[in-house]
Amino acid sequence: MCAAIAGLQDFRSEGPPADIGTYQLPCSVMVFQYTFSGTVYVCAIRSGVRGWVLVNHLPSLAANDATVIQSAINALTAGRTWKEKVVLQGDFIFIKPIYVAFYITLEILGNIKADANFQTANIGPPPAEPGLRRLIVGSNLQAANPQPIYIDIIGGTLDGNKANQPAPPQANDGFLIFFFNGININIKNVKGINSKAYGMDLDNCAN
């Protein structure tokens, strides 16, 4: 099944011109949707030395989309000091946030929408602000993840689905993007709609 994902063909060991030794994606990891036996899946793949490598795939549901995308982000080179790129191709629904930490370009070619009753997260250094809703979070400082540095978020539409979210527990609930204590954060050509509060919060960030 994996070799047929999204119509991709595995031409390894078939000789030129199909087999060029290294299969090149336009990014380090790509996330996309495909249909197999009537079920829509969300799939993450990365470039490998002798072809693309499956990172994760699950049925495309609100409970799964963010999980697979987080797997794609986590599949980037550990401890890197250079930017690697994750491309999201398609329209995704999130029940929980995704976390981006360091040296990453996240390109969104589609839409990310908050599911109804989007899950909350504790965000920020202790004492954390409890019960806040965010689609994209710069690192998860509560989990002692690295400081968010050298991050690009490019393109796409972020939809907070305001009409289907419960009343916020506090006035500043419902940002689409949140970064705390970030350095060199670049957000470009991102459209934000239907946020419960504000589109973006870059708290204590610097170039």
- The mean pLDDT values, 10 residues at a time, for the chain of 207 residues are 49 45 71 91 84 88 94 93 95 92 95 87 54 76 71 96 76 78 93 89 83
What's the maximum distance between 2 C-alpha atoms anywhere in the chain?
A: 61
Gap between the Cα atoms of 153 and 184, Å rounded = 11
Is the Cα torsion angle 60, 78, 201, 174 positive or negative in sign?
positive
By three-state DSSP, how is residue 25 classified?
Answer: coil
Q: What are phi and psi of 104, to 5 degrees?
A: -145, 140
Gap between the Cα atoms of 101 and 75, Å rounded = 12
Is the Cα torsion angle 35, 37, 38, 40 positive or negative in sign?
negative
Which pLDDT score is estimated for 29? 93
Count of C-beta atoms within a 10 Å radius of residue 146: 12
Is the Cα torsion angle 89, 191, 96, 143 positive or negative in sign?
positive
CB-hemisphere CA count at 13 Å for 74? 12
Which pLDDT score is estimated for 178? 87
